[in-house]
Structure 1
Amino acid sequence: MKSTLIALLLVLSVMVCQAQETRPGPQPPPETGETFKVGVAGFTFVRFDLDKTLETLKALDVHYLCIKDFHLPMNSTDAEIAAFHEKLKAHDVTGYAVGPIYMRSEEEVDKAFAYAKRVGVKLIVGVPNVELLPYVEKKVQEYDFKFAIHLHGPDIKIYQDADEVWNHTKDLDPRMGICLDIGHDTRNGKDPVADMEKYHTRVFDMHIKDVTGPIKQGYSIEVGRGIIDFPAMVRMIRKVGYTGVCSLEHERNMDNPFMGIAESLGYFRGVIETTKE
C-alpha cells in the first residue's frame, strides 16, 4: 500500500512539473518599477540579421532596440519600414531610436532626420562633424527630436568623452545631448558615474559595456568582468532620475556574442535587483 502511494505521488509530481514546463507563468523583466529601461544597441548584432537579433532579444526578455541601418537601411521604403515594425511587434520589441549615424555633410544630416521621422522615432544617436552642430541644432528645432551624440573614447579625434560632448552642446538647444557610452568614457580616463551626475540633464541614451582598463588599449569585456563600478552606476542612474534606455552594446567575440550578451545582461539586471532599497 505504502509503495503504491509513493508511486502515485511520484506520478503526480511528474505531471505537475510537466504542466509547469508547458504553461510557464509570466516573468516580469527585472527593470519593472525603474524609471529607466534595459535594451540592446543594434551594433551588438552587426554580423547577424534582424531575425537572429529578435530571436535573441526574445530569449533574453529584452524589449528595446536601438535601430542600426544594417537592419533597416536608410533608403527603406515605407512598406519596408512598416514590415520591420510588424516584425518587432511580433517579438514584443520597440525600436526606440536610430543610430549611431555618422554625418559628414548637411545632406547627410538631412537624410538622418528624414529617416528617423519615417521610422517613427524621436531620438537620433549621431556622430556629426563638429562644424555641422549649428545645422544639427536647426534640424532638432524643426523636427522636435532629441539628438544624442555618441562618444567614442580615444578611438577617434572628436567626441572622446562626456566632457567634450558637453562642451560642444551646452550652449545649444537642450534637446542636443549625450549618448553616454560608459565603456568609451572610461577608456578616455573619465569616471562615467561622475559624468552621469554632472551631465544627466543632457544624457538621452546610454551604452552599457565594461572594459579592462582606463586607457586606449582597454578593451570591451563582458559586463561585470572589467573595472566599471556597476552598483555605483545603477545607483547614480536612479539618483538622477534617468528615464531613457540602458542599452547593452556588446563588442566582444562578435562572430559568436550570444553567451557574452546573456552574461552581461544577467549581471546588469542582477545589479539592478540587488541595489534596490
Structure 2
Amino acid sequence: MPTIKSLPLALASLSILVGSLSAAPKLGLQSWTCRNMSFEETVEFAAANGIEYVQFFSRHLDPNDSEEANLKKLAFLNKHGVKAYTIGVSRTTLEKEDNRKLFELAKLFGMELIVVEPGDQMIWGNLEELAIEYDIKVVVHNHGRGSTYGNPSTVKHILAERDHRIGVCMDIGWVTAAGFDAAATYRNYGDRIYDMHLKDKRLDYPEGELKLTDTFIGLGNSNYDELFEEILEDGWSGVMAIETDSKEFAEDPTEFVKAAKLFFESHVHEHAH
C-alpha cells in the first residue's frame, strides 16, 4: 500500500496513462461512501479527488425533491465539473407512477441508467415499461447471501425475460461475499453489465461462521486481477464506482478513495498492455 504522501504523484502519472486508453472503464464514486457528507460536500470531495462520475443515493439526490431544488444541484455539479451519472440504489414500488419519478430525475440530469434492487420481483414489469419509454437502462444491484439478487442465477433469469435495457450493476465486493468469483460472474452476464461498484471484502471464518470485513480495494478476497483482464479484453467502458460499507472508512473516506483510485488506475494500465 503506497503512503498517502506518495499518492498524488502516482495518481497524476497513472491518470494520464489511463486517460489515453480508447476503451477502458471509467472511475466513479458511489456517494454512500460519503454518507456523512452533504450533497455539496460530496461533489467538492469528488472534484478534489479528480473523480468526474458520481452515483448518488437518495440522501444526496432525491426524486421526491422539487425540480427547482434539483436544478440547483445540477448547476452545482456543472460548476465543479462533476456528473451525476446515475442514482441508486433506488427504492422502487409496484406503483408505476411512483417509479416514474426516478426516470424524470434521470432525464433531468442526463443519466443513462438507474440502479435498483426491487424487493418484489413483480416490480420489474413496470420498470421495464418505463425503461423502454424513457430509453434509460435499469440495472439491478446485488447484495450478499440470502438477499433477493445475491445469486447471479436469479439475476440471469430476470435478464432472460426482459428488454436489453434491463441489466446489472455488479457489486464486486458483495459478489465475492456471496461466494462467487467476480471474473466468472462478469463473464456469465455477457453484455448485460452496465455498471459496477468497486468494493472489496475479506471473508473470514472464525469458529466456522462467515465474518465479512470491508477492506481497501485489492486487500480483500475479490478476484480483481482476472476481472480487470476480462474488462480490458472486452473493451468494457462503463463506470466502476468506488464504494465502501465500512463505517470507519466513511468517517473520512479520503485515504480509502485515494488508494482505490490508485488501485484502479494501476490495474487498468497494467492489464491494457
The answer to whether 1:274 aligns with 2:263 is no
1 CA distance for matches of 2:71 and 2:16? 27
Match of 1:109 among 92, 99, 102: 99
Q: Which residue of 2 aligns with 1:90?
A: 79
Q: Which residue of 2 aligns with 1:118?
A: 108
For residues 1-277 of structure 1, what are the structure 2 equivalents within 5 Å? Answer: 28-32=15-19, 33=21, 34-106=23-95, 107-128=97-118, 129-154=120-145, 157-213=147-203, 217-252=211-246, 253=248, 254-277=250-273
TM-score (norm 2): 0.85
Residue 234 of structure 1 aligns to a residue whose secondary structure is helix
Q: Name the amino acid aligned to 2:270.
A: T
Q: Do the aligned partners of 1:162 and 1:178 also contact (CA within 8 Å) in 2?
A: no
TM-score (norm 1): 0.83
Q: Which residue of 2 aligns with 1:6?
A: none
**Structure 1, unaligned stretches of length 5 or more?**
1-24
Q: Which has the higher contact order (CA 8 A, sep 6+)?
A: 2
2 CA distance for matches of 1:229 and 1:188? 13
Residue 74 of structure 1 aligns to a residue whose secondary structure is coil
Q: Do the aligned partners of 2:232 and 2:268 also contact (CA within 8 Å) in 1?
A: no
Count of residues in correspondence between the two structures: 252
Q: CA, structure 1 residues 133+84, in 2 after alignment: closer, same or farther (shift >3 Å)?
A: same
2 CA distance for matches of 1:69 and 1:204? 20
Q: CA, structure 1 residues 45+237, in 2 after alignment: closer, same or farther (shift >3 Å)?
A: same
Residue 203 of structure 2 aligns to a residue whose secondary structure is coil
Q: Do the aligned partners of 2:94 and 2:126 also contact (CA within 8 Å) in 1?
A: no
RMSD over aligned Cα, in angstroms? Answer: 2.2
2 CA distance for matches of 1:111 and 1:176? 18
Q: Name the amino acid aligned to 1:185.
A: V
Residues 107-164 of structure 1, C-alpha deviations (whole Å, 9 max, x = no match): 432332233223331210011221111221111111111010011112x530113332
Residues 158-202 of structure 1, C-alpha deviations (whole Å, 9 max, x = no match): 011333212122121111011000111111111110111121311
Cα drift, residue 28 of structure 1? 4.6
Q: CA, structure 1 residues 89+31, in 2 after alignment: closer, same or farther (shift >3 Å)?
A: farther
Q: CA, structure 1 residues 239+75, in 2 after alignment: closer, same or farther (shift >3 Å)?
A: same
Cα drift, residue 71 of structure 1? 1.2
Q: Do the aligned partners of 1:180 and 1:207 also contact (CA within 8 Å) in 2?
A: yes
Q: CA, structure 1 residues 211+255, in 2 after alignment: closer, same or farther (shift >3 Å)?
A: same
Cα drift, residue 265 of structure 1? 1.9
Q: Do the aligned partners of 1:230 and 1:268 also contact (CA within 8 Å) in 2?
A: no
2 CA distance for matches of 1:94 and 1:113? 17
Percent pairwise identity? 25
Q: Name the amino acid aligned to 1:263.
A: A
2 CA distance for matches of 1:98 and 1:54? 14
Q: Do the aligned partners of 2:64 and 2:101 also contact (CA within 8 Å) in 1?
A: no
Residues 12-57 of structure 1, C-alpha deviations (whole Å, 9 max, x = no match): xxxxxxxxxxxxx999555311432111112111111122212221
